Amino acid sequence: MLAAYLSPAHIAAIDVGCPVSALGSEMPRQAPEVRRAATIHIKEMIDLFARQLPNWGQPEAHAQAMAMVCAMIGTTILARAVDEPALSEALCAATLAQCPQADK
């Protein structure tokens, strides 16, 4: 799941990719209903990741999933921001290396 999210295709898909990584920095300036929708989506992402972990159902799985989603979104934002393809790829590779449990 994480590998697909941090794939070159998803990183390049700014206009059709994940709205959280594309618009996350704009959310604080949005109407309450937009922020509510973003919150629901983010919580769903966290739950989806938590269900993939071997310790699903335990409090630490939820915490791990939150960290993975944060890493995933942050990496996507940075990988899209830089103008060096090699750096973009390296950012994604580093995150994947630090979160190997996300793709098991």
* pLDDT profile of the chain (104 residues), mean per 10: 89 83 82 92 93 90 93 94 96 90 56
Res 26: pLDDT: 82
Res 101: pLDDT: 64
> In whole angstroms, what is the distance from residue 21 CA to residue 1 CA?
15
Fold of 2-103: Tetracycline Repressor; domain 2 (1.10.357)
Q: What is the DSSP string of 41-74?
A: HHHHHHHHHHHHSTTTTSHHHHHHHHHHHHHHHH
Q: Whole-prediction pTM value? A: 0.83
Res 77: pLDDT: 93
Res 15: pLDDT: 82
Nearest to 20 by CA among 77, 66, 60, 61: 77
3-state class (DSSP) for residue 1: coil
